[in-house]
Chains A and B, each alone.
Chain A
Amino acid sequence: DPQTTAFLLRKQWTLYSVTPLYRFSNARLRDYARLLSACIAAEKQKGLAGGGGGDLAIHLPDLKGSDQDQAAILVQLSSRSPASQKNSEEKLIWSGWFCCVFGDDLSENVPEDFTCLPLFLANGAETYTSIVGSWFQKTFDCCFRRLAISPLNLSWMAAMWTGCKVDKTVSAIELVFSVPCLPHPLDISYAIHPEDAKALWDTIQKTPGEITQEEVDVFMDCLYSHFHRHFKIHLSATKLVKVSTAIASAHCDGIIKFLQSQYLTGVLMLLTELAISQIQ
């Protein structure tokens, strides 16, 4: 649905993996909102969260992959300006949502009382993420962990997203490498024209719609050797920390930005998979 997608696109989301929630009920959303609001208000009293009045809402937007997936949960924190006018605009200050997109691997093996929503995305101040996270952990006996994205997974994303067809090829395929352990740290940004990168990938991928590890390795090796030819530096010895394409951009610390509505589900599916393997 267009409003939801507009809300998701072009924002920076911090990623977490979440273990299944115990005894979460879709029917009790209003109670949960009330309790969580009280929790946040208490933290504000202690001076741990920002000032101003706040409204907390919990919705169930339509964000799933298959019908087996659980309905997503969206938590939104808005604040009204302190000048308590009735029509003052509410500003959205923090959003967090739990989702599961094609996560059958996890939900199949889990007992009745559990709700499987392994992927959590947060946008807004870290203090709120931590308050909301702690409340969910206490209330539903689950565990949040920052989702780390390994260089291996980042190279998959690079290869996959390079192959995607995009209407207007505006964004380059950018790979960012970091070499922190030198006396003076070094960052290398390697950006390839999207048409040229896609042309390379198309000669490597054998079956459309399918990608193998070997194909990803060949793709990355080609890029590394082109770089080595010019600079005599082995990029394979450095750490791949970020991948940016027209589809999305992903950072190894578990940060994602969705850029194309067309491929939103695909990226969420990949992230769900990563979250599930981090939990298991």
Chain B
Amino acid sequence: MDETVTEYIRRTVLKIPREEIKAMLQKWGFLSEAQLETINFHQMKDNISQDVVKLCEENSADIKQAAVLDIIYNHIYPNKRVWSVYQMNKTGEETDFFDLRDFKKKFKRRLRSALQNVTVNFREYEDNAIWIRVAWGTPYTRPNQYKTSYVVYHSQTPYVFISVSVLKSNLPLLCEALLVASNYHDIREMELRSHSLNSLKDIVFKRYNQNFQTYRPRPLQERNVVPESADLRITQENRSEKERIQRVNREIFGDGPQPKLEFAQYKLETMFKSDPKMHVLDKKEPFRCLVKFHSPHLLESLKSLAAAGMADTPLSPLLTCIPEKARNYFKIREKKGFFPGSFVSP
């Protein structure tokens, strides 16, 4: 059996947390139950992967099977990669009937016509998601299985989630193949990036809890009733402000959990404005800044800033518009109107 294949399978198994290896191999289905029974899954991962490789050799695994195992791993642990969102457009109203076989055939053909040395594998999942794995080579070298791009395409939507990894130069070819296979006319990058694939889907498919204006017959004060026996000399001075913050946050962010993003970036090209009494900078050109926000869970973090006393309520629309505008990279210029790329002057 090909040495590169065995080594690739060995390394893929090593990535999997030990408790999950058996389940993932079962999902893979390439090794029989009887074969899996022969492996001791409590030994060190190094030894487990050696055992798996031996069995794969018995079954003569080839690169296709190895690729499928990689897809399964990435489907279960998508957050190890950074995903960018792309939107495709087509002119005309017709919703073509989606033929999966046709899609796969056209995609492979378009890729291969430009670059012979690629490994292309597909896997479909119940939620209409098509996972595509592409391993890239060059005109003179075989595909490098460690340099892969992933595409997740929901065929009922114009959205594509791409994790390119190192070889960004292959991106145009990848996009072209997608357009040809899916019968769209053009594709654009949406300035929306994150490790959390599901959060990106939530944002783009509008699956997160948006701000519903709910009718609340009872005023909020009644919810936190202070027991009668408490000392009447003790009052919460900022209670009404705290409640206002809670209410406004609810209106803006909604009741449910926020989609999980790790960063947002703002390129500011607005004017510097100051109190004229201070006699400081009064240039006619923009004050150029680059602001980056980082957090394990950015939107929840921003939501908690006002209660912590570090931000005003309501928070700036530049931040709260992220899920609604489906982007986390912005360029802000001073303009009259309010739409992406413009800024409301105070």
Contacts and interface: CB of A to CB of B under 8 A. Distances in A.
B283 A199 contact: yes
Contacts of B305: 179, 182, 186, 233
Interface in A173-222: 179, 181-193, 196, 199-200, 203-204, 218, 222
B280 A190 contact: no
B318 interface: yes
B308 A191 contact: no
Contact of B266 (A193, A218, A230): A230
A229 B312 contact: no
A238 B293 CA distance: 13
Contact of B332 (A192, A200, A230, A238): A230
A182 B289 contact: no
Interface string B276-300: 0011111101111111111111101
Contacts of B314: 232
Contacts of B289: 190-193, 196, 226
B294 A189 contact: yes
Given A183-B300, A185-B296, A186-B301, A230 B280 contact: no
B234 interface: no
Contacts of B273: 226, 229
A183 B301 contact: yes
B293 A187 contact: yes
B266 to A, nearest CB: 7
A231 B301 contact: no
A199 B312 CA distance: 29
B203 to A, nearest CB: 17
Contacts of A182: 301, 304-305, 308
Interface residues of A, number: 33
B104 to A, nearest CB: 40
Interface in B305-324: 305, 308-312, 314-316, 318-319
B159 interface: no
A83 interface: no
B107 interface: no
Nearest to A183: B304
A196 to B, nearest CB: 5
Nearest to A228: B312
A225 B300 contact: no
B208 interface: no
Contacts of B282: 203
B274 interface: yes
Contact of A184 (B283, B300, B343): B300
Contact of B309 (A200, A203, A218, A237): A237
B88 interface: no
Nearest to A187: B294
Interface in A224-277: 225-227, 229-234, 237-238
Contact of A231 (B291, B298, B300): B291
A234 B311 contact: yes
B272 interface: yes
A44 B297 CA distance: 43
A193 B300 CA distance: 30
Contacts of A231: 291, 311, 315-316, 318-319
A55 B295 CA distance: 44
Interface in B34-60: none
Majority secondary structure, B binding face:
loop
B82 interface: no
B332 A218 contact: no
Interface in A146-188: 172, 179, 181-188
B266 A200 contact: no
A179 B293 CA distance: 11
B316 A191 contact: no
Nearest to B282: A203
Interface string B116-158: 0000000000000000000000000000000000000000000
Nearest to A237: B310
A176 B291 CA distance: 10
A196 B273 CA distance: 13
A191 B280 contact: no
A225 B316 contact: no
Contact of B310 (A191, A226, A233): A233
B302 interface: yes
Given A192-B288, A238-B310, A232 B281 contact: no
B301 A188 contact: no
A54 B245 CA distance: 62
B281 A222 contact: yes
A87 to B, nearest CB: 37
A192 B287 contact: yes
Contacts of A184: 295-298, 300-301, 304
A185 B294 CA distance: 8
Interface of B: 266, 268, 270, 272-274, 278-283, 285-298, 300-302, 304-305, 308-312, 314-316, 318-319, 332, 343, 346
What 9 pairs between A and B have smallest CB-CB spacing?
A193-B288, A184-B301, A184-B297, A232-B312, A232-B316, A189-B292, A187-B294, A237-B310, A186-B301
Given A182-B304, A196-B283, A230-B318, 6 more contacts: A189-B294, A192-B287, A196-B289, A199-B281, A232-B316, A234-B311
Interface of A: 172, 179, 181-193, 196, 199-200, 203-204, 218, 222, 225-227, 229-234, 237-238
10 contacts: A179-B310, A183-B304, A203-B281, A222-B281, A227-B291, A231-B315, A231-B316, A232-B312, A232-B316, A233-B311
